[in-house]
Amino acid sequence: MIPFHESLIGKFDNQQQSLQYPSRFARILICHEDLGNGWIKGSQAYHHNPKPYREFRMWVTSIGEKFLVQNFDSEGLTYKEGYDTIFEWRDDHWHGKSHDNAQYTVDAILDKDKYYVLDKGDTWGSQWGHFKFHKLPA
């Protein structure tokens, strides 16, 4: 089993997917930085404009062999109710699913080299399947 934190922390890029399907997937960079004490600082930016279009914080808590990821604003002050994801180990990867909101769904696959994520809200989300991010070397 790959440690969850080790899989989640790092920089991720969907370059291969965006080049293969440019009309379906923008090239996006994701960064997850460990702040300690269960907090992770996250950002998302388009490759052509490295200024993040989204910044957030995540609070990670272990629940037995599973991990609960709770989402907060960029300062970590406002909890985003309904956006929690629970990750559990399946075969050779961590699998994350939303569990507390019918208007928002997440399906994520995470291991030491990749982060595939499909998230959808009422009026937004990928209609072409998972964004396929690969971890960049440290």
d(CA 31, CA 14): 12
Q: Which domain holds residue 63?
A: 4-135
Give the least confident one: 62-66, 91-95, 120-124: 120-124
Residue 83's CB: how many other CB atoms inside 10 A? 19
* Whether the predicted pLDDT of 3 surpasses 90: yes
Domain of 67, CATH number, reads 2.40.128.590
Predicted pLDDT of residue 119: 84
Predicted pLDDT of residue 34: 97
Predicted pLDDT of residue 59: 97
Give residue-wise pLDDT tens across range 101-135. Answer: 666 788 999 999 999 999 877 555 678 889 999 99
Burial string for 99-132 (b: 16+ CB within 10 Å, else e) reads eeeeebebbbbbeeeebbbbbeeeeeeeeeebbb
Predicted pLDDT of residue 128: 87
Predicted pLDDT of residue 51: 96
Task: DSSP letter for 3, please.
Answer: -
Predicted pLDDT of residue 110: 97
Domain count, the chain: 1
Smallest CA-to-CA distance from 131 within 40, 46, 66, 49 is with 46
Give residue-wise pLDDT tens across range 18-56. Answer: 999 999 999 999 999 999 999 999 999 999 998 999 999
Handedness of CA 110, 82, 26, 32 (dihedral sign): negative
CA 127 to chain CA centroid, Å, is 17
Q: What 3-state class would DSSP assign to 38?
A: coil
